[in-house]
Amino acid sequence: MSILFILVPIALLLAGGALLSFLLSAKNGQYEDLETPAYRILLDDCKSGEKPND
Amino acid sequence: MLVNQKLQTEKVQCVHCGLAFVGAGRFCCGGCESVYDFLQGHGLGRYYDLRNDFTTQKAAPIRFKKQSFLELKAKPERELNFYLEGIHCLGCLWVLEKLPEILPGVLHARLEMSTSVIHVAIDERTNFQIVANTLQQLGYRPHAIEKSAEEFQRNENRSILLRLGVAAACTGNIMLLSVSIYAGASGALARDFAWLSMLLSLPVFFYSATPLYQTAFAALKSKTLSVDLPIVFALLAGFAASLVSLIRGGNEVYCDSLSMLVFLLLSSRYLLRRMQQKHLSNAKLLDFLDSESVICIRATTKVEISVSQLKVGDILWIPAGGVLPCDGVVRSLGALLDLSLLSGESLPEKANPGWSAYAGTKNLGTEFLLECTDLGRETRLGRILTQLNSASVTQTALRGFADTAAKWFVGIVLSLAAMVLVYFHGNLDEGIRRALALVIVTCPCVLAFAVPLSLSLTNKLAAKRGILLKSPESLEFIPQIQEIFLDKTGTITEGNFTVISWLENARYSDEIQSAVYSLERLSRHPVARALVTFLEGKVTAQAVDGFVEVPGLGVNGSIGGISWQIKKSSQARATNNCIDIFRAEELVARISLGDQLRADSKSLLQKLGARKIFLLSGDREEICVRVARELGIPEAQIFSEKSPEQKAAIIKAHPQALMVGDGANDALALKSAKVGVAVHGSVELSLKNAAAFFSRPGLASLVELFQLAEQNRRVTIRNLVFSATYNVFAGALAITGMASPLWAAVLMPLSAITVFLSTTISIRGRT
């Protein structure tokens, strides 16, 4: 059972890491627009006038 | 001899906007054509490929009046947000984010599609007037947004999201630790785990839950009961009891279910908030009348100035087709005013020098001079808008059923808990245990989140079908509504003039059509527009000599030496607008025009069942009576020739009514109605005053709205019945001491999850 005294803190550290990254991304505004990025990825990065590569 | 001629109905699709229209060519209007040319000219033709590949179209594009955005020229900022009207698909996103390539000086442009807001950053090579003009050329109507209001909302959202994240992380870990305790862990390990979950619940209690404490405290301060009150009570009592139990050496902690409760509450509130904000961006718009520029005559020269610079006594030059920016007195001949914004009258009125004219009316005649008498809030339109703002205070005073029920619920639970404590005054330990179990087990979760949840799910479903609701709460009132007031134009009828019959002398058939087209093309009168649309593509225009428009009467001119007169028929039948056409003084054709009933109006009205239907219109009595007769509405339920102020008064006399009307000219009445529904016009302005907006004209949306509201009511009632049953049983168990606080803490989230799942499934199930 003493393994728990190592495993539980590790689990908490992992959870803390996940929470930290969530807080950072939320402060960055990544959860404000949930619609556009899904469309933006469909667009090609070509200059206007150029045809996209097929 | 006059012969009835077949009407042309074949439609083609506009290359730019996809609107089906009758006529020749590839575009439905000049606006679409110029946007098409602009895009092709900048090498942005791929817009059309993208749009066709991913159709996410929300509504047909709206055509806008050109603005010059003078007030934006001197803005010192280098970054600005614009709200854009007319965003509807992926093509818009692509084109708008190419702005830095089109306009030198624009550093970056990011569009947020869900809110239609574009963020633009520029350097000193350009200014925001140029940016706004380019956006307008692209076919979107930009509105600059006040930064502060938006920033505030954004920060608020972020802070709730942060609290939610913390609650989720802590709750998840507490749950893992609790499983071992529930599974039977005992001794030192159980105690360590209990301490650890206590530790993990601290951020939930003292960071995530703070908004709950604030609302509960505010409710106490104003001496009312709120749903948050027993939740806060349970949180604090549960926290204190857990702490006491830990210190005494026990391991009875309730941190798991309490933090779960906080997490569920915060997430349902966050979702509801996001949903409400989606259509509420209108609060951030600058005043729409101020953003236009006008031409003013100062020392005999024409100067273009912004409306905000106008002064009383200025002489304005109003072009043909211009909208009046202020109230004033007409100072020259030629004015023909479209009063539909203020009176709903479908035909324009001739205004002679000396007449008063009001802001918001449109000049359909030729250019004229106007002396400004009232500005901004002092105008008739301004006074209506001010009245609207004060009316909004009374509207928020309305409270939904859930709120009233919650107050009773909270009162009963708290007094029962107090009674239990009094009853067990001899054995206070047992008393505290039972009272605590009671407060925890009887969670008002149905009231706290099931009601908002079903409302917001229904709201989402409605939005998918083109019904936008300002506040989901209005859904609660809709099933009880027994009186419906309908505006005629655009709701029951098509909303524009169409040719109903065309009688002509067959000998001159081609000649007549060509002459009517050539002459009416030069006029801006709605009847002329209807005739031009009707003949578009059938005949070609010819040169007209000596064209004269007599406001209120008709047009004259000669083609190839033959004189033509098109004028209002002297023996017009009351119900329609009749027009006589004279060729060299001889009557050769008679055309009647009218506003046709929508094909589905009658059948849809019947679906509204036993509800009382009223017709409320600014239009002439004969027209209203004819429409009402066709629909089977009794004469006693017709109100015709009413001004916006009179309409509002009628609605005020029927405070429980739903009203469907034009977003602009019925604004005041819509605001007074229990539920106001706007059709027409821009969503943004309509939702300022109405509770709902239909993006599809006609009555079909109204029937759907009633169905959705009814479904929401059924789900809500089922939730309430379930919750009442559960609370009575669980409460009885707690009071009799059969359920310990620990059991209460397990039962409560279970009941919450049951309600959550049943609500989601039954509302989703019908999509």
pLDDT, one tens digit per residue, over B697-726 is 677 888 888 888 888 888 888 888 888 888
Instruction: Provide ipTM, 2 decimals.
Output: 0.83
Q: In chain B, which residues have their Cβ closer than 8 Å to the Cβ of A34?
A: 114
Counted across chains A and B, CB pairs separated by less than 8 A come out at 72
Residue B531 phi, psi (nearest 5): -65, -40
**pLDDT tens per residue, range B522-563:** 776 777 777 887 787 777 778 888 887 776 677 888 888 888
Interval B58-81 mean pLDDT:
61
Q: What is the pLDDT of residue B14?
A: 73
Tokens of B18: 């996809």
Nearest to B561 by CA among B542, B533, B541: B542
Which helix (DSSP H) or strand (DSSP E) does residue B29 occupy? Answer: none
Domain B31-145 has CATH 3.30.70.100: yes
- CATH class of the domain whose range is B467-482+599-695: alpha beta
Please tell me which residue, B676 or A18, carries the higher pLDDT value: A18
Q: How many CA atoms lie within 13 A of A53 on its CB side?
A: 2
Q: From chain B, which residues contact A within 8 Å (Cβ)?
A: 42-44, 46, 50, 54, 56, 90, 93-94, 97-98, 101-102, 111-115, 154, 157-158, 161-162, 165-166, 169, 172-173, 176, 189, 196
A7 touches chain B (CB under 8 A): no
**CB-based burial, B40-78: b 16+ in 10 Å, e otherwise:** eebebebbeebbeeeeeeeebbeeeeebbbbbbeeeeee
Does the domain at residues B293-380 carry the CATH identifier 3.40.50.2300? no
- The predicted pLDDT at position B365 comes to 75
Do the chains contact at B169 and A26, CB–CB below 8 Å? Answer: no
Per-residue model confidence as pLDDT tens digits over B561-609: 888 888 877 665 545 577 888 888 888 888 877 777 777 777 888 887 7
For helices B401-423 and B228-247, angle between their N-to-C axes, nearest 10 degrees: 40
Report the predicted TM-score, pTM, of the whole model to 2 decimal places: 0.57
Mean pLDDT, to the nearest integer, of B460-471? 73
Which residue do the tokens 């391991």 mark?
Answer: B251
Instruction: Lowest mean pLDDT of B117-121, B238-242, B251-255, B730-734, name the range.
Output: B251-255
Residue B206: the pLDDT is 93
Q: What is the 3-state secondary structure (H, E, C) of B426-449?
A: CCHHHHHHHHHHHHHHCCCHHHHH
Three-class secondary structure of residue B469 per DSSP: strand
Query: For A32, which of B46, B97, B157 is closest by C-beta distance?
Result: B157
Say whether B351 sits in a helix, a strand or coil.
strand
Q: What is the pLDDT of residue A22?
A: 94
CATH of domain B494-597: 3.40.1110.10
CB-based contact A33 B157, cutoff 8 Å: no
Q: How far is A52 from chain B (nearest CA, A)?
A: 9
Using a CB-CB cut-off of 8 Å, the residues of chain A touching B56 are 39
The confidence score (pLDDT) of residue B62 equals 42
Mutate to test the interface with A, among B87, B94, B119, B164 (most CBs of A within 10 A): B94
**Per-residue CA distances from B718 to B461, B669, B723, B724, B730 (Å):** 19, 34, 8, 10, 18
**How far is B234 from B258, CA to CA, in rounded Å?**
8
CA B749 to each of CA B43, B113, B261, B744, B755: distance values in angstroms, whole numbers, following the listed order: 58, 36, 7, 9, 10
Note whether A39 contacts B54, CB cutoff 8 Å. Answer: yes
pLDDT bucket at A49, cuts 50 / 70 / 90: low
CB contact under 8 A, A35 and B112: yes
Query: Per mean pLDDT, which range of B8-12, B53-57, B127-131, B465-469 is the poorest?
Result: B53-57
The answer to whether the CB atoms of B165 and A22 lie below 8 A apart is yes
- Whether B103 has a pLDDT exceeding 80, the answer reads yes
